[in-house]
Amino acid sequence: MAKVGRAARVASRQRVEAITASKTIASAETGELYLINSNAAAIVITLPSLQDGAYFKFVIGDELATLDSKGITIQSAASGTANGELVGSSVTLVGGGAVTHGTHQHAKKTNGHPQFEIVGGGSSQKLYAGSHVEVYCDGTTWYVSAVLRADNVGVLGKFQGS
C-alpha cells in the first residue's frame, strides 16, 4: 500500500529525454527515461553521485549500426570506489531469439573508472530498437541490468574500468 504524501519517482508518466551525444546526468533527473537515437559518435553517459533510490532507464529508440567504432558507455561519476561500483548482468538476444552471453555478462568493477559498455566486435554490427539498460542505486552501489537485441553475437555489454 502506498504511503500518503510520498511522491513516486517512476509514476505512470515518465519524463522522456532523447540522447544523441554524451551526457552527464544530474541527481535531480532520477526516474527519467532516456531514448538513445543516434550513434553518429561514441556516447558516454555519466551517472550522478550515489543516491539511494536513484533509477534510470536507457532505451535504444532506433536501430544503431557501427557499434564497432561508436559504442555506448555508462559510467560512475568518479573513479575507484569513491562513487560506487557498477554491478550487474547483461544478456544479448541474437536474430531469431537465440540467447548468447559474452564473457563479461556478470561483473563487479572496483578499480579504475567503473563503466558498463555496449560494444560490437566486428564491422557494421547492429543494436536493435527496444534494447534497454536499467540502472538502480542503493546509496553505495550502482546495479545494472541490460537486455540487448542484436544481429550478431559480437554485440555485448561488458563491465570494465578505464
Q: Tens digit of pLDDT for each residue in 71-127?
A: 889 988 875 556 677 888 888 888 766 666 554 555 566 556 788 888 887 777 888
For range 142-151, the mean pLDDT: 89
Q: Whole-model pTM?
A: 0.83
- Tell me how far apart the alpha carbons of residues 10 and 91 are, in angstroms, rounded to a whole number: 24
C-beta separation of 114 from 135 below 8 A: no
- Tell me how far apart the alpha carbons of residues 76 and 15 are, in angstroms, rounded to a whole number: 22
Across 62-66, 91-95, 108-112, 148-152, least confident range: 108-112
Query: All 3 cell numbers of residue 42?
Result: 561514441
- Tell me how far apart the alpha carbons of residues 143 and 12 are, in angstroms, rounded to a whole number: 23
pLDDT at 35: 94
For range 36-58, the mean pLDDT: 88
| Amino acid making up residue 85 | E
pLDDT grade for 6, boundaries at 50, 70 and 90:
very low
- Tell me how far apart the alpha carbons of residues 104 and 102 are, in angstroms, rounded to a whole number: 5
- Tell me how far apart the alpha carbons of residues 45 and 148 are, in angstroms, rounded to a whole number: 17
For 10-41, the pLDDT digits (tens) are 556 778 999 989 999 998 999 999 999 876 78
